[in-house]
Amino acid sequence: MLDLTRIRAIGLDLDDTLWPIWPTITRAEAQMVAFLQSRAPGSAGMFADPQRRQALRDGVVRERPDLSHNMSALRQECIRVALRDSGEDAALAEQAFAVFFEHRMQVTLFADALPALAYLASRYPIVAVSNGNADIHRVGIGHHFTATVSAHIFGVGKPDVRIFQAAASAAGVLPHEVLHVGDDPALDVLGGLNAGMQTVWVNRDGHAWKHEAQPHASVSDLHQLCALLTPPG
């Protein structure tokens, strides 16, 4: 059960909590492939093929484990390696990534996201806590947040307790005073619990919970979250 009296700040995941991530990534990758098609057709073909694209990413992760929490740097390195291996101009990597990133910021928010953000921000400081590379200001929702803690800047990602502790510090509260909200059972819920936070699992697709440790609450959307945080009477 949630203890509302403890909550002084909200930690909030972004991808698949406020918007569906894979349609966004798919569109952004398609735009990047279109950019490369006439300039570097070999690399464009590599990124257009899901198996070759995944093999490329896996290889870069093996060679550059230091990039594992920096999605922007990892993707740009994947582009550079594809260009190099295809005998094409590696200088195109930065431009191709810029095309991808521009479209990666063009998310389609879940219908409940903006009303929930407005409600939550009127009651608590909100800190974005993300392993991804979304920029809340470019997305257009930055005014709802007090701060953002991203793995690619902080250096470690969820479920490492340090990123949750950093989020609490950014809100000016202690970890046990934060309610962390997110869709990923391991990264968000278990990570938040291990950091001493209360947690809410956003389970939009009705999945079964598979872990021994339990979230303090589960919701199917952010309207339910807001209702949970509204004191009775």
pLDDT in tens, 10-41: 999 999 999 999 999 999 999 999 999 999 99
Confidence class of residue 72 from pLDDT cuts 50, 70 and 90?
very high
List, in order, residues 6 or more apart from 108 with CB less than 8 Å away.
19, 20, 23, 24
Confidence class of residue 68 from pLDDT cuts 50, 70 and 90?
confident
- What's the whole-number mean pLDDT along residues 164-171? 98
Q: What percent of the chain has pLDDT over 70?
A: 100
DSSP structure string for 57-113: HHHHHHH-GGGTT-HHHHHHHHHHHHHHHTTS-TTHHHHHHHHHHHHHT-----TTH
32 neighbors 96 (Cβ within 8 angstroms) = yes
- pLDDT for 69 equals 87
Identify the bridge partners of residue 217 per DSSP, sorted by sequence position: 200
- What's the whole-number mean pLDDT along residues 57-76? 93
- What's the whole-number mean pLDDT along residues 51-58? 95
Confidence class of residue 233 from pLDDT cuts 50, 70 and 90?
low
Cis amide leading into 41 (omega within 30): no
Predicted TM-score (pTM) of the model is: 0.93
Structure tokens at 208: 């079964």
Mean pLDDT (the chain, rounded): 96
| Rg, Å, the chain Cα set | 19
- What's the whole-number mean pLDDT along residues 80-109? 97
107 neighbors 28 (Cβ within 8 angstroms) = no
* Kind and range of the H or E run holding 27: helix 21-39
67: left (phi over 0), alpha (psi -120 to 50) or beta: alpha
Compute the Cα dihedral for 218, 112, 206, 106 and give only its sign: negative
Count of alpha carbons within 13 angstroms of residue 123, beta-carbon side: 18
Res. 134: pLDDT tops 70: yes
Domains of the chain: 4-19+108-228 (3.40.50.1000), 22-104 (1.20.120.1600)
